[in-house]
Chains A and B, each alone.
Chain A
Amino acid sequence: MQHITLIYIVTILVSIAIAFFLSHVARMSSQAKVREGAGERHLSMSLLDEDALKKTISDGICEVVESKQRRREISKAVSDIFANELEKRVELNTQELDKKYNSAMEQKTQSEEIAWKKYMKVLAGKKETDAVIRSIAEGLLVVDGKGNVVMMNPAAEKLLDVSKNDKIGKPMLENIKKEQIISMAKSTSGGKDKEIEIFSEEDETKKVLRSSSAVIEDENGQTVGMVSVLSDVTKQKELDLMKSKFVANVTHELRTPLVAIQKSISLLLSKTAGDVSSTQEEFLTLADRNIKKLSRLIDDLLDLAKLESGKMQVKPALTTIGSVIREAAVSFDAWANTKSIKIEERVQEGLPDVNIDAQRIGQILNNLIGNAIKFTPHGGMIIVEAVSNNMKEIEVSVQDNGPGIPKEDLDKVFDRFYQTGERNLSDISGTGVGLSIAREIAELHGGKIWVESEKKQGAKFIFTLPIIGE
């Protein structure tokens, strides 16, 4: 009977021990993250639990078993079971921790390797970019939001005649020579392409730089700086100027003898120098007509030179558009007659006077009517019309019934020097500048010019003149 009681007690105690263990295991497995030193802490926890457990068990044994000998036996048996179980658990835990630690270390090493590789790649990329930036012929300049220089390449140093070491982290304008300040200020005030003139005090030369700038924005759209690309256009500018001067000089030189010829002919035709026969008069008239054409061509070139140097001036005065049209149309009568072309004027009644330079507007009309005569077939008709539109403008148009202009050329006819193979659309003198001058004149008057045409249906050139004070 005593034996059965002993087995009974031992079974209860073992059950308690196992229950403790299970709760302990449950707590352990709930800890997800593996941390350094975690395993150690687990072990000390279970050892603490073990002491408490031992005490509880031996207290229980003391209560039910009276014999000391028996108590020791039971205690030992329980301790053995307990130690065995503990050993197993610790080993399992250690293995698990080892595994987790190893995999964590492996992962760490892998990500370190990846990071290093990425770093090396970025470094190589940066070196490459640096090399490219260093070696490009264009100057590159980066300033931050406060206008302090962040970066500049050797070309920029050379072009701006400054040293990078003096400039990085400092405002661009600091310590720059007086003359340069003005132009740099212009160039850093933002936006698009600019031309910068830089004077060197040492050799008294002038450099012209073209700067294209772009604003650098952060992800919120805030301006954080600006990047500028500088290129030296001094040579190009010099050539442009030389070309303009050359054209101006040559055309002036051409005009002097031309005026002499024109004057001689008109003196002969006026019979101040004596009588001329009717045949002589005919030839003199022919010469006179052609000299006028030549003269118009040279005037165009002179105008072009003026436009290029920005010297084209408009002297506006209140003018009746009808009279300008009349004058232009009449001057072409003789030429139109040779081709039996009729020039019809259709001027709307009651048009208000416009503030225009009559001579310049006459020049547009001469150009358009001249073109129209050139391309209108024998016996055709040209309509010169003036009407007011609902935009407070007067619309003046010259319409012919010539071969028309292909659609793809409509935008190009006003481009300087533009000519098409099929039809020289530019002007009667064939330099390709007439229509571009016409456009400039229309724009100087605050108007615009365009052409409407269908192939084989003729062309209609239209320009507008604003009505002032309406």
Chain B
Amino acid sequence: MDNKDIKILMVDDEADFRQLMTFWLKSKGYTVSTATDGKNAIEIVKKDPPDIIFLDLRMPVLDGLEVLKRIRRFNKDVPVIIISAYINDPKARELTSYNVAGVFYKGENFEDALPLLETALRTHRKLKK
């Protein structure tokens, strides 16, 4: 499967990180769409389900946890990687029961996100088979 065929949804209210990460992922050949809030993200997942979602945990109105809960109501298996500015975020611990593929700390090098992404996709594909 070519990177170009992999659709990533990047959900983050913080523009700097969202733009930069999106650009970087695109430079690695992925197809990336973005959402700036939870409501928008849920709509996109409903309309055009992505292969994987990067979901920011701390967002106004609908936070990452709430967005995840709502997505899981209609989509049980799309892999979700949580992104957080806080290492060992206590909120991240609450997520384990919602089928989360991994947590990416915003302070880490972007390169460290790649293995997370690839493992999540591989596991997902295996499960589908």
Q: Does A259 contact B (CB under 8 A)?
A: yes
A259-B27 contact given A252-B86, A264-B20, CB 8 Å threshold? no
Q: Does A255 contact B (CB under 8 A)?
A: yes
A267-B23 contact given A252-B107, A256-B107, A259-B108, CB 8 Å threshold? yes
Residues 89-121 of B contacting A (Cβ, < 8 Å): 106-110
Partner of B23, one of A255, A257, A273: A273
Partner of A272, one of B17, B27, B107: B27
**Contact count band on A:** 10 to 19
Q: Does B62 contact A (CB under 8 A)?
A: no
Partner of A260, one of B16, B27, B86, B87: B16
Contacts of B17 in A (CB 8 A): 256, 260
| Cβ-defined contact, B109 with A252, below 8 A | no
Partner of A259, one of B23, B86, B87, B106: B106
Contacts of A253 in B (CB 8 A): 85
Shortest distance from the beta carbon of A405 to any chain B beta carbon, whole Å: 34
Nearest to A255 among chain B residues (CB) is B107
Shortest distance from the beta carbon of B16 to any chain A beta carbon, whole Å: 5
A270 to B23, CA, bound (A): 13
A258 to B24, CA, bound (A): 16
Q: Does A263 contact B (CB under 8 A)?
A: yes
Contacts of B107 in A (CB 8 A): 252, 255-256, 258-259
Residues 337-376 of A contacting B (Cβ, < 8 Å): none
Q: Interface size of B by Cβ–Cβ distance < 8 Å?
A: 14
Per-position binary interface string of chain A over residues 253-282, scored 1 when its CB falls under 8 Å from any chain B CB and 0 otherwise: 101111110011001001011000000000
Nearest to A273 among chain B residues (CB) is B23
Shortest distance from the beta carbon of B102 to any chain A beta carbon, whole Å: 17
Contacts of B110 in A (CB 8 A): 259, 263
Per-position binary interface string of chain A over residues 313-352, scored 1 when its CB falls under 8 Å from any chain B CB and 0 otherwise: 0000000000000000000000000000000000000000
| Cβ-defined contact, A263 with B24, below 8 A | yes
Contacts of A258 in B (CB 8 A): 107
A263 to B17, CA, bound (A): 10
| Cβ-defined contact, B20 with A256, below 8 A | no
| Cβ-defined contact, B16 with A259, below 8 A | no
| Cβ-defined contact, A256 with B106, below 8 A | yes
Shortest distance from the beta carbon of A142 to any chain B beta carbon, whole Å: 44
Nearest to A253 among chain B residues (CB) is B85
Contacts of A264 in B (CB 8 A): 20
A385 to B121, CA, bound (A): 45
Contacts of B106 in A (CB 8 A): 255-256, 259
Contacts of B86 in A (CB 8 A): 249, 252
Shortest distance from the beta carbon of A401 to any chain B beta carbon, whole Å: 35
Shortest distance from the beta carbon of A89 to any chain B beta carbon, whole Å: 108
Per-position binary interface string of chain A over residues 65-94, scored 1 when its CB falls under 8 Å from any chain B CB and 0 otherwise: 000000000000000000000000000000
Contacts of B108 in A (CB 8 A): 259
A257 to B107, CA, bound (A): 8
A342 to B27, CA, bound (A): 37
Contacts of A255 in B (CB 8 A): 106-107
| Cβ-defined contact, A256 with B109, below 8 A | no
Contacts of A267 in B (CB 8 A): 20, 23-24, 27
Contacts of A260 in B (CB 8 A): 16-17, 20
A196 to B23, CA, bound (A): 54
Contacts of A249 in B (CB 8 A): 86
Nearest to B23 among chain A residues (CB) is A267
Shortest distance from the beta carbon of A279 to any chain B beta carbon, whole Å: 24
Residues 221-269 of A contacting B (Cβ, < 8 Å): 249, 252-253, 255-260, 263-264, 267
Shortest distance from the beta carbon of A277 to any chain B beta carbon, whole Å: 21
Per-position binary interface string of chain A over residues 38-80, scored 1 when its CB falls under 8 Å from any chain B CB and 0 otherwise: 0000000000000000000000000000000000000000000
Per-position binary interface string of chain A over residues 269-308, scored 1 when its CB falls under 8 Å from any chain B CB and 0 otherwise: 0101100000000000000000000000000000000000
Q: 6 smallest A-B Cβ distances: which pairs?
A: A255-B107, A272-B27, A256-B106, A256-B85, A256-B107, A260-B16
8 A-B residue pairs with Cβ-Cβ distance under 8 Å, sorted by A, are: A249-B86, A252-B85, A252-B87, A259-B106, A260-B16, A263-B20, A267-B20, A272-B27
Sample of 6 more A-B contacts, CB < 8 Å, known A253-B85, A255-B107, A267-B23? A252-B85, A256-B85, A260-B17, A263-B110, A267-B20, A267-B27
